[in-house]
Structure 1
Amino acid sequence: MRSPHTFDPELAAALVMMPEVDISDLASARAAQARQLASATGASDTAGVEVGELRVPGPPGAPHVRLRVYRPRRRTRAAADPLPVVYGIHGGGFVLGSPDVDHDWNLLLCRELEVLVASVDYRLAPEHPFPAALEDCYAGLCALADGAGALGIRADRIALWGDSAGAGLAAGLTLLCRDRGGPEACFQHLCSPALDDRLETPSARLFTDTPVWNRRNARLSWEAYLGKDVRATAAVPAYAAPARATARALTGLPPAYISVMEFDPLRDEGMAYAHALTGARVPTRIRMLPGTFHGAWAVEHAAVIRDATREAVDVLGTALGRR
């Protein structure tokens, strides 16, 4: 049957090779993803990048937080100069994923921009519901900023980057840092962000059959993260679902770049958040990628994705003083 969605031709051709995501059977979804990622990361080109790991104190009463750290081996800039940082938060609907999800992307950023990339391995729902993931992200970011001297990084040049649920966590993290007086990120880069648990936008209602992510998966992910009886109620704070933040609550946040996919249930909440940030006088750019669906970043050879990748790298590079 012909799809009702006009996907980019290169992306449409790649769909037959992309696994279906169904988080209603979470154990199977996690096992399938682990197999896929093990194969992918094993083939990654790590030339020019030193990949290591840090374990830092977690939130009070919680385990340590693991950070996968990417550091450029060869630098064109002065070797003694502290490095800017990209603090990466992976996606996975709050229930899937690890730093392996963004391994190739993190390698690319480290090489291209000569920055330190730290990818946080936060706890997953439903075993660890909100605020566990957000608190892990906050603990990891605090550890980086506090140890800036020893790590050879600039605490005043940390950009947050996230995709999907990771982008939602990045947005919530900016709110949390501001309100707690924690580390001050210089930029937030949000890709296909999951920001609104209510799922009431036109795209959230329309895209029930889109590839990789659809309304059903979105609902299940929010229910796992917040609790089935909590999602879409007044009990959900903006730290969990930043779309709920008032205009006043958005003031004073770092500049933002938000990209959304055309055929994605999360499209409209990302666009609405960009407009809300702009209304709160936060410098914000938004880009919608035509013909795309959630997770289309994985189709690296497609021209629309190559173009978006170049722009994303340039945006982060400019924010970090690398362009």
Structure 2
Amino acid sequence: MRVVTAPQINGILTFRDLVETLRSAFRSDIETPVRHHHTIERTNGSDAALLLMPAWNDFTKQAHSDRGYIGVKVVSVFPDNAEVGSPTVQGVYLLLSGRNGETLAVMDGQALTLWRTAAASGLAASYLAREDASKLMLVGAGALAPYLMRAHSSVRPIRDVLVWNRSRERAERLARSMNGLDGLTVRATSDLEGGVRGADVISCATLSRTPLVMGDWLSPGAHLDLVGAFTPAMRESDDAVMRKARIFVDTRAGALEEGGDLTQPLADGVITEADVTADLFELCRGEKAGRRFYDQITVFKSVGTAIEDLAAAILVFLKT
């Protein structure tokens, strides 16, 4: 059994490879039972969450039966950790042989999650963002932010990046650490509205419970990537976003049940399930079109799926 650490994962993966790996995964036969989501009540802080995310591919359909895999991710989400400088999301990934159930590897779940989550946004942007998109607005400066920056710039010619965070200090810290890398110009801003209005791609990764991005701020042709707000009580966009944008999701089963950006406007009758144009399965398989014209506004809501974890874990395993 291999033990794969975060530094090893960071040294193995590239977003160009991982985005294409996810594209292939969404075209293939992978079983993903509904993930187990358990709330852990805490008397001395915000409630935490425990997530169990299993997936497996059908090794009987593989050219070689020993290439089948089973995986499960165990994740904890402690929102208060950010206040003390600890990761909000932590976890471990267990990869098993689909042939005989043998444990193949234990991997750092936090690193794997950061990579696959950002890569899913990059995958969606490859269908939904304008091909000439060069300006990125990051809303949130947490652990995922630098990964989202790199993922989006791997599929579109991003050159200028603005970072907004409730704590200006954290935004400035991220901007300093990323400025100049891969030819990017990265700056912090306190003007959220102005940054959104001037961006080609807006990527949000927060734990906000109230909308941060307003539909009236989105410029023609903008693409909005909503990564945070992973429970029905959380939200990063307002109703106007959903009214004016063409809506896409990672998986219908997950996004329509878990993400407040969709569950709340659905419950209020602002949109219906028919307004969700496509998920990543349909986009990757060519069953539905992504961006249809230059000035169209698109929005992608993701809550994560075990397909992404399994695909990323297999890629890491094959490269170690």
Q: Comparing both structures, which one devotes a greater share of its residues to strand?
A: 2
Please give the TM-score of this superposition, normalised by the length of structure 1: 0.37
Please give the TM-score of this superposition, normalised by the length of structure 2: 0.37
